[in-house]
Chain A
Amino acid sequence: MSTVSVPPPKKKTLLEISRLWKSYPAPGGGEAVIVKDFNLKLEEGEFATLIGHSGCGKSTVLSMVAGLSEVTKGGIILAGRETTDPGPDRGVVFQAPCLLPWQTAFENVMLGVNQVYFTASKAERRQITEYYLSVVGLSDSMHKYPGELSQGMRQRVGIARAFALQPKMLLLDEPFGMLDALTRFELQQVLLELWRKFRITTLMVTHDVDEAIFLSDRVVMMTDGPEAEVGDILRIPFARPRERKVIMEDPQYYELREHLITFLNERSHLRPSKDPNFRPSPDMAAELASHPHISPAGMRLQTSAA
């Protein structure tokens, strides 16, 4: 097995999203605001999840970070540099794995590998591709076409492709949304194992509460759209490496689950920025404190303990 030591996560901001807006010109004049004043900082090596109801704009935030959707206002800073267009330094995995159907799994991954490792020898590039495809469990079927692979296997290729490029960040947009429950469990495991090894900072979008808890360090809850914003933040304290069996039997797991479900069912329509009585949870307050421009005009900085 592997002997590479994983560097301890540094407390360094890798991604900073500040005052992010997304709006479209509305058909009847005016503007339809999808995302309003979205602020979030991600530490290097952190796994954060955006959760919210469908249509709340969580995918829009992600695709703006990916550079696939234009930013209306505000900025996204990745590793000290503002990002505006897409690039291979952000590995993206969509709900549909977006493989080119006329290329085998191997060729699909190789397409990206050839791009970012163009200074390496051909043999080394092949080794890289083979390595990542094998690690996701496709060593026997890497030369098949996407049409010959099951939905779950295709998504494995998508994950291998994202990791193989050693991106600064991973952006996962409901990566397991189209899979059945059992296949989803398997793939979460695959993702977690790879992530444990490479510790790539990750921003994931999902609406699956269990998935969010099992995978992430922090869950960012978004209010309902339009004009979606961050409604609450919850830190997931489980130690890594995580084992599904152990976590599911941990009483804390159900507390966290309850917190998220309650938010989605009862509080997702409340907007902190418009609510004078809003009291952020400790995790939310910590995040707010790291954005000096938000306080105190937009929001009262009070912890719920205060």
Chain B
Amino acid sequence: MNLTLFQKLKLESVMLPALAILGCCLIWYVIAGKSVTTVKTDDWGDTVKVTKRSGISADLPTPVETWTASKAYITDPFAKRGELDQGILRFTWLSLKLVAQGYFLALLIGTPIGFLLGLSKKFSMAFDPIIQILRPVSPLAWLPLGMILFSGVKVMDAGGRTTFGASDAAALFTIAICAMWPTVMNTAVGVRAVPQDYLNVAKVLKLSRTKTLWKVLVPATLPYMFTGFRLSLGIAWLVIVAVEMLTGRPGVGGFLWQQYNANSFAHIILCINVIGLVGYVLDRLMSLAESKLKTA
């Protein structure tokens, strides 16, 4: 067969990951527990079939078992059988909706804070310690605080059903406050890194403050801001799982927690895969947007 270099590269870029996935599945299969049915005679002389799981990790389902158990959720991804028994894409959609809201809140708050930190030495000096202390706090710690802070929140629709309650507000709060730090930090770094040359242009032309902001500062900072936005989105997606677990909201994370309580390990594996896949897709989309911006 005559393959050009390009075709060869392409083939390799498909074949090698496929092989690696196969290898991982193999290891998974080896350590997973298998059902072993033995026929034996009990104390009363009856022959009974005893099904036992054995293996390195007896409770871990094999890849095939995982697939059979998860099939219903994947082949009918938008089904709604109950509050916590829905198709996997329906769960994903619910989680994404919440992430989007929290994420935009994070950008809305984080970007101006970043600009203030970058522009004003005094502001930066005053608030830097607070930011450094709040930054590493886990989402698990923020959520209870959110619950208390927003305990009175209750928005009802015409039918008297709560459409936006304390747990929703707390979830948004947690996502926003955890996800905004990369945006804050990167924006601040970007603003500080704006070359003096560009600022001189603004000075010489006597551009007004708003014009300087929109014509010089924002475009010059944009690449940094976008790096922050991308990292923030990654964190928002990490946080959502924790938030759903704690609040029991329907979503990928909530489903995962419920399945853990139900001892349904195959579904946990399904959830992990979906979470990873969605995170990867989000990151790719953001890098795509980022590279589009870089050319300008």
Contact = CB atoms under 8 A, between A and B. Distances in A.
Q: Do chains A and B touch in the complex (CB under 8 A)?
A: yes
B207 to A, nearest CB: 7
Interface stretch (A96-104, A129-137, A217-225, A251-259): A96-104
Nearest to A68: B200
A86 interface: yes
A90 B198 contact: no
B71 interface: no
Given A100-B215, A102-B296, A111-B215, A94 B204 contact: no
Given A68-B200, A86-B200, A100 B206 contact: no
B191 to A, nearest CB: 15
Contacts, number: 48
A98 B219 contact: no
Interface string B187-216: 000000000011011011111000000011
Given A94-B197, A96-B197, A98-B197, A88 B219 contact: no
A115 B205 contact: yes
Contact residues on A (Cβ < 8 Å of other chain), bracket: 20 to 34
Contact of A87 (B198, B204, B222): B204
Interface string A40-56: 00000000000000000
A66 interface: yes
A14 interface: no
Interface string B217-261: 001101000000000000000000000000000000000000000
B195 to A, nearest CB: 8
A100 B201 contact: yes
A88 B201 contact: no
Contact of B201 (A87, A90, A98): A98
A88 B200 contact: no
A88 B198 contact: no
Contact of B204 (A92, A96, A100, A103): A92
Interface string A96-138: 1010111100000001100100000000000000000000000
Interface of B: 197-198, 200-201, 203-207, 215-216, 219-220, 222, 296
Given A88-B204, A92-B200, A100-B220, 5 more contacts: A86-B206, A87-B206, A100-B201, A100-B215, A112-B205
12 contacts: A67-B204, A68-B204, A86-B203, A87-B204, A88-B204, A92-B200, A98-B200, A98-B201, A100-B220, A102-B220, A103-B219, A111-B207
